Amino acid sequence: AQSVTQLDSQVPVFEEAPVELRCNYSSSVSVYLFWYVQYPNQGLQLLLKYLSGSTLVKGINGFEAEFNKSQTSFHLRKPSVHISDTAEYFCAVSDRGSGYALNFGKGTSLLVTP
Amino acid sequence: ETGVTQSPTHLIKTRGQQVTLRCSSQSGHNTVSWYQQALGQGPQFIFQYYREEENGRGNFPPRFSGLQFPNYSSELNVNALELDDSALYLCASSPRGDRALPDTQYFGPGTRLTVL
């Protein structure tokens, strides 16, 4: 089964600074990649997804991610963060063999301070 | 358009008891997936239901079971509760497309289960 590794458990950053949250996946053909955000005491909200086509994916709230097949990575980036971006971020992978069930990483806690 | 709803929001049970969690899927969605999220961890796939049939299962024991109803709402049942079952249980619904690509899963707010 496919798996993802989120390399940072916590990322502290100052407001208006850029941020990158790293995600690597186990190699396979035809993987599909997702980033979800979870605010405190809430469910998961989809930020963006890569299914096919352009390797640069733009999502909501100014986030984007780049699918890099050679490095098996799908890092999430934002050029300027806000206090309201403080949340838990999850990278997930799915494939057809698993019926498209989502396999999540352990999450990265983004803390934005003034 | 109503999103995915779950009930109850919080639940406290004791070890050995049984629990039923409920999920109403988003309008137009016929597939429901359940995930368990332990504290400080990412969600783990329990199982998926499509048109009232189980359509995939993760690495969870048989005491985790489910149902899907004709209106596509769903229940998760857990028998013989253990302390490690304490977690946030998330339900996600999706429209089932042609299966050439994965459908986007839309998550509910979850049910926080505490087992004492």
| DSSP state letters, B16-30 | T--EEEEEEPPTT--
Contact yes or no for A104 and B43 at CB 8 A: yes
A-chain residues near B109 (CB < 8 A): 41-43
**pLDDT of B97:** 66
**pLDDT of B100:** 73
Q: What is the pLDDT of chain B when averaged over all its residues?
A: 93
**pLDDT of A53:** 87
CA distance B112 to chain A (A): 9
What residue type is assigned to position B98 of the chain?
A: D
Candidates B95, B113, B91, B115; CA nearest to B6 is B91
Average pLDDT, integer, range B50-79: 94
A90 touches chain B (CB under 8 A): yes
A24-28, B3-7, B57-61, B70-74, range with the lowest pLDDT? A24-28
Which residue, chain included where needed, has tokens 């049939």? B53
Residue of B nearest to A102 (CA): B45
Q: What is the DSSP string of B41-101?
A: S--EEEEEEETTEEEEE-S--TTEEEEE-TTS-EEEEE-S--GGG-EEEEEEEE----SSS
Name the band, by pLDDT with cuts 50, 70 and 90, for residue B19: very high
**pLDDT of A30:** 78
Instruction: Quote the tokens at residue A60.
Output: 């909501």
Contact yes or no for A43 and B58 at CB 8 A: no
A-chain residues near B102 (CB < 8 A): 32, 51, 94, 100
B58 touches chain A (CB under 8 A): yes
* Contacting B residues, span 60-99, partner chain A, CB-CB under 8 Å: 90, 92, 99
B48 touches chain A (CB under 8 A): yes
pLDDT over 70 percentage in chain B: 97
pLDDT along chain A (114 residues), means of 10: 91 97 85 93 92 92 94 96 97 86 95 96
**A3-26, pLDDT tens digit by residue?**
899 999 999 999 999 999 999 998
